[in-house]
């Protein structure tokens, strides 16, 4: 099941901006290892879910995982071959707005090289460049 908010105050949001640097969520808070964003962008709910599935399968009931981003921005899309005007389109998917420096995922209670291998697999599923960081890397 794809991640999305239970309720929102406004269904359709404006596009917003993708530039800037993350001010919060830049340090590892829960685990020992993390995956940090190196560029700005939108990460879709299905991409977060794909990453979660990879980590869950790799951990196999050993170690802990934290997802530090949540898709709370709705993206709308108009159907194909529809003329201009007639209002904003229907909600197509949800995204998490990611600024560079943000820690996306964390792992704990696993060896260093295992965590590095897990995050390498996860990074292939994400639309932005990422970096492996450790708690000692502050």
Question: Would you list the domain boundaries of the chain?
Answer: 33-79+96-137
pLDDT score of 2? 79
Read off the tokens for 9.
């105050």
Q: 105 and 31 in contact (C-beta within 8 Å)?
A: no
Within 10 A of 35 (CB to CB), how many other CB atoms are there? Answer: 25
Global pTM value: 0.93
CATH topology of domain 33-79+96-137: Aldehyde Oxidoreductase; domain 3 (3.90.1170)
Note down pLDDT in tens along the chain; length 138 residues: 779 999 999 999 999 999 999 999 999 999 999 999 999 999 999 999 999 999 999 999 899 999 999 999 999 999 999 999 999 999 999 999 999 999 999 999 999 999 999 999 999 999 999 999 999 644
> Using CA of residue 24, residue 28, residue 29, residue 31, what is the dihedral sign?
positive
- CA torsion 61-64-69-70 (nearest 10°) is 40
Task: Give residues with Cβ within 8 angstroms of 74, minimum separation 6.
Answer: 8, 11, 12, 13, 91, 93, 94
Read off the tokens for 112.
């260093």
């Amino acid at each position: 099941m794809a991640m999305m908010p239970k309720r929102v105050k406004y269904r359709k949001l404006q596009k917003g901006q993708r530039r800037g640097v993350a001010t919060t969520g830049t340090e590892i808070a829960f685990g020992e290892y993390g995956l940090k964003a190196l560029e700005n962008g939108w990460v879709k709910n299905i991409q977060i879910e794909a990453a979660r599935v990879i980590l869950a399968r790799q951990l196999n009931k050993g170690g802990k995982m934290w997802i530090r981003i949540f898709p709370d921005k709705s993206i709308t899309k108009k159907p194909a071959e529809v003329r201009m005007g007639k209002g904003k389109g229907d909600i197509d998917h949800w995204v998490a707005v990611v600024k560079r420096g943000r820690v996306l995922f964390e792992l704990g209670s696993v060896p260093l090289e295992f965590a590095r291998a897990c995050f390498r697999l996860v990074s292939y599923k994400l639309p932005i460049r990422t970096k492996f960081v450790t708690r000692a890397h502050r």
